[in-house]
Amino acid sequence: MIFIFFYVYIYNVDLRALKSLFNPLIGPFEYDFQFTFLSNQILLPLGLHPSFYKYIKKFEAKKIVPVSYTEAPTRSKLKKDLESLNALNKGGFYWIFNNVNGKHYVGSSVLFERRIFEYLKPSYLKKKSSQNSLISKAMIKHGYSNFVIVILEIYGDQSLCLSDYKTKFIDREDALIKIVKNFGNCYNIQDFSSRVRRPAGYTFSDETKLKMSEVWDEERKKNLISRSSLPKSEETKLKIIEIRKLYLNKIANDLDLKEFNRIKRSHKILLYENNVLVKSFDSLSEAADKLHKNHKTINKHIKEGTLLKDKYIVKKEEGQSNLKIYKIGLFYSDGKLYTEFNTMADLVREYNSSHQTINKYIESGELWRDKYYIKRVN
């Protein structure tokens, strides 16, 4: 991979002395570059898209120092290059040019090192591409070697960029974006001031909108917490118990049959002293851990009815036997049963679907895959 970035100084130097540092080769993208002088004394590689030379003149740059890589540089190498250009730990504005079709993009970063290194990471491009970033999609499509990054201007240290981010920083990039838009054929969709409020071209999915609408503000959380600490009436307690039972019956269908049976067979461990219940544990494992006894010892006392620690009678209490598992049936539109499954998990595996989707069609009563109605079967 050959990735190139250019750094722009704002003052004049002897360009002829600079030209002697480079050895021209035949190809413009082979380890080094051919260079020429333009009428405005800007040093550039030969072989680029014609639009590049036309556009670069209008950015009012005085000198361009090219740095080329035959492969993606390490972070330490990138830091060293930026340090030599007095751009380390600084931010500002950059320009990306597509040498295949002449399209281009102006962007900004409060830290050049981080942003350039991000562009070298396929995972970053893939993530931004999924968010409808046009420049990221283009870099994935055409490859790194067909792009040139030009650092147009160093705004200042990272702290200065952050402090001015929503004032002077925005105004400066908006001015550069207007230049690019006047060129035409650019990847920038919105001005920078608009992108600060919302990423350009990004649309939220319905699922994300739903999640956002369900986010509670801090004040509501506090109110709910204070209400939850209040004492509950007997009527409220009974309602909570009924809701829990309904929930357990519902989630039973989301469990694998083997897991469901394990829960159904579970039991509490009860300790009695003088026929009075003094302690209970949710499982045999918990009892063994808290009583510092092994499973076999506790089971022995349960079976034989002998005293544990010469003090307690140990008994088992059946656990969540009130759980009820439903079969899931697929029905034709005329109401006839097509097939049924022991659990929802079986249906999900068979049709490569999800629990969320199946529950949605059960609750809505809509036709699934334009063919079946899904119902719980007792």
177 and 34 fall within a common domain: yes
Over residues 293-343, the pLDDT tens digits come to 888 888 888 888 888 888 888 888 755 444 556 789 999 988 899 999 888
The total number of structural domains that make up the chain? 3
166 confidence band (pLDDT: 50, 70, 90): confident
Q: What is the 3-state secondary structure (H, E, C) of the chain?
A: CCEEEEEEECCCCCHHHHHCCCCCCCCCCECECCEEECCCCCEEECCCCHHHHHHHHHHCCCEEEEEEECCCCCHHHHHHHHHHCCCCCEEEEEEEEECCCCCEEEEEECCHHHHHHHHCCHHHHHHHHHCCCHHHHHHHHHCHHHEEEEEEEEEEEHHHHHHCCCCHHHHHHHHHHHHHHHHCCECCCCCHHHHHHCCCCCCCCHHHHHHHHCCCCHHHHHHHHHHHCCCCCHHHHHHHHHHHHHHHHHHHCCCCHHHHHHHHHCEEEEEEECCEEEEEECCHHHHHHHHCCCHHHHHHHHHHCCCECCCEEEEEEECCCCCCCCEEEEECCCCCEEEEECCHHHHHHHHCCCHHHHHHHHHHCCCECCCEEEEEEC
102 and 247 fall within a common domain: no
Over residues 125-142, the pLDDT tens digits come to 888 888 778 888 998 888
Over residues 59-73, the pLDDT tens digits come to 654 444 445 554 566
Residue 96, domain member (yes or no): yes
* Mean pLDDT across 2-22: 37
135 and 245 fall within a common domain: no
Question: Is residue 9's pLDDT more than 60?
Answer: no
121 and 187 fall within a common domain: yes
* Mean pLDDT across 141-163: 83
307 and 343 fall within a common domain: no
Look up residue 213 and give its two tokens.
């609408």
**For 32-36, 120-124, 326-330, which range has the lowest pLDDT when averaged over its residues?**
32-36
244 and 359 fall within a common domain: no
Look up residue 70 and give its two tokens.
């035959």
Specify the higher pLDDT residue, 111 or 317: 111
With beta carbons less than 8 A apart as the criterion, state whether 70 and 84 touch: no
Over residues 231-263, the pLDDT tens digits come to 667 777 777 777 666 666 655 555 555 555 555
14 confidence band (pLDDT: 50, 70, 90): very low
15 and 122 fall within a common domain: yes
For position 311, which CATH number holds? 1.10.10
In this structure, what is the dihedral angle of CA atoms 224, 228, 231, 234, given to the nearest 10 degrees? 100
309 and 340 fall within a common domain: no
Q: What rounded mean pLDDT belongs to the chain?
A: 71
185 and 40 fall within a common domain: yes
63 and 168 fall within a common domain: yes
* Mean pLDDT across 352-375: 88
pTM of this prediction?
A: 0.43
Q: Report CA torsion sign: 359, 362, 367, 370.
A: positive
Residue 192, domain member (yes or no): yes
With beta carbons less than 8 A apart as the criterion, state whether 94 and 177 touch: no
* Mean pLDDT across 193-205: 50
* Mean pLDDT across 254-281: 70
278 and 349 fall within a common domain: no
Residue 297, domain member (yes or no): yes
312 and 335 fall within a common domain: no
User: Which structural domain range is residue 272 located in?
Assistant: 236-318
79 confidence band (pLDDT: 50, 70, 90): confident
